[in-house]
Structure 1
């Protein structure tokens, strides 16, 4: 305690004032001077005892803070007493819990990053290996023209797949990082869906699939049109790929006081019950996934929709079809 300069000054001033008080009172009465001296002594002793207790508590807090800096967040210093130290203990505990949550969050993010890098490496490994093999074969001078054209086309397809994967991952990383500002502008539901369906009209025509659209043409929705169209394309594309020839893709939309809703349904192969909880997880490929599926389209759609105060649900029955329900809440 006495290493503290402020405390030494406090004790010195207390002794000086007590001495002066005893000296002044002694001119009037020796008994009164004795009483004042005893009272001053008791006051000094009580102050010393209180200061010692306070320093001991501060020492405990110092040790606690050192443990926190070492990464130990398990200690609990809260108490229900009144006073400055109790308030300080409670505030330190709040900071400890916040640091603990941040540490856990960083650990989770690190784990996710590790998993993402592993998944990306796995997704890139297959097409890169395939291209390396085909490039070696192309160096053969005796390779036929037909085979050379086939290998060249396969390499182009693999490059397009890698380009799409990298582009999609970049978009997903921007959404996860919160660097994308989703503009909320009104757009007619019918126009939004038409823009999403347009790139898929040719694949649907090839498979002779029907498109059924239902909803009030006057209904509008407040979303970022470009990003929402991309989400809808990924969901519609999933339906087209998993619906057989002559199948049907039905899109309906509605609006109420709470939310705007878009329902996309198909009568395709459906999704296995075991796969339903994981279909929005990136790189997840279900039992009915197509051969060229990467498992990132629905994950991107989910991120885009939920980032715009929306929600997406899915129901499915094997061999009967799948229904995606998209809700964009207004508040």
Structure 2
């Protein structure tokens, strides 16, 4: 403590003042000089004691901070008394809580990253293994032309699947990292639906599915046409995939004072009740998932919609079809 130059200067000033006042009091009387000297000594002692106490408190706080830096967030230094040290303790405690929460969040993010890498590795391994086997079979010079054509086509299908998977993962990573730039411009619901349907009309025609589209031509919302179309395409693909031949897919849209709503409903197999809470999770495959399903389309749709301050809900029962409701609110809620 005495190595502190500020305290050295302050004690020097106190001693100088005490000597000057004692000498001045001596001209009055010896008793006045003694009282002045005693008072000065007591004041200096009080200052020394109080400063020593503050140093001990600061030393405790320093030890507390060292333990925090070591990862111990369990200590509580809150102090309800008045004073600058109490304020400092409370502020340190607030920072400790924030650091604890950030540490927990980082740990959760690390676990999610580990799970995501594991899921991605699994998704990539399956088509890669399949292609390696077929490439080995293509090396056989005696392989019939029909089989060679079949294997070549299967490799092409697997490559298209890998291309879609990698593209989807890149889009999701952009959204997660906050680098995806969502435009905030007026989008007509009719234009959005027409753009999204372009990607599923051929698969619907192959399965002879019936399509109905109804809505208010003036319905609109503020968002990004390209990204929102990507979300709606994934929802439509899910409906086409789980609706049998000759089934029906209905798209309706409208607008009210609170939000613009787009509804996609199908007459498909439906989603089991136990799968409903998980269908927007990445790489989740429900009981009715098709063999080639990866479980990333609906997760992407959910991320795109919620990133634009919208909501997406699903209602379904086995054998009763599925209904997706997308809402874009007039204001952020």
Which TM-score band (shorter chain)?
over 0.9
Cα deviation digits, residues 129-148 of structure 1 (max 9, x gap): 00010000000111111111
Deviation of the 1:278 alpha carbon: 0.5
The equivalences for 1:204-283 within 5 A come to 204-283=204-283
Q: Which moved more, 1:187-196 or 1:283-292?
A: 187-196
In structure 2, the residue matched to 1:70 is: 70
Separation in 2 of the partners of 1:290 and 1:261? 28
Separation in 2 of the partners of 1:253 and 1:175? 26
In structure 1, the residue matched to 2:37 is: 37
Cα deviation digits, residues 184-224 of structure 1 (max 9, x gap): 11122111101111111111111111111121112222210
The equivalences for 1:176-191 within 5 A come to 176-191=176-191
Q: Look up the SS of the partner of 1:261 in the other structure.
A: strand
**Matched pairs, number:** 331
Q: Look up the SS of the partner of 1:274 in the other structure.
A: coil
Deviation of the 1:170 alpha carbon: 0.3
The equivalences for 1:94-113 within 5 A come to 94-113=94-113
In structure 2, the residue matched to 1:167 is: 167
Separation in 2 of the partners of 1:219 and 1:5? 73
In structure 2, the residue matched to 1:128 is: 128
Cα deviation digits, residues 49-100 of structure 1 (max 9, x gap): 1011100100000000100111111111111111111111111111111211
In structure 2, the residue matched to 1:117 is: 117
**What is the TM-score normalised by the length of structure 2?**
0.98
Aligned 8 A contact 2:187 2:223 in 1: yes
Deviation of the 1:5 alpha carbon: 2.0
Name stretches of at least 5 consecutive residues in structure 1 with no aligned partner: none
**What is the TM-score normalised by the length of structure 1?**
0.98
Deviation of the 1:28 alpha carbon: 1.2
Cα deviation digits, residues 172-194 of structure 1 (max 9, x gap): 00000000110011122111101
Q: Tell me the C-alpha RMSD between the 2 structures.
A: 0.9
In structure 2, the residue matched to 1:324 is: 324
Separation in 1 of the partners of 2:219 and 2:301? 22
Aligned 8 A contact 2:221 2:330 in 1: no
Cα deviation digits, residues 86-133 of structure 1 (max 9, x gap): 111111111111211221111111111111110000001110000010
Name stretches of at least 5 consecutive residues in structure 2 with no aligned partner: none
Q: Which moved more, 1:213-222 or 1:238-247?
A: 213-222
Separation in 1 of the partners of 2:256 and 2:18? 80
Cα deviation digits, residues 251-296 of structure 1 (max 9, x gap): 1111122211111111100001110010000100000001100000
Q: Look up the SS of the partner of 2:304 in the other structure.
A: helix
Deviation of the 1:4 alpha carbon: 1.6
Separation in 2 of the partners of 1:319 and 1:94? 53
- 2:91 equivalent to 1:91: yes
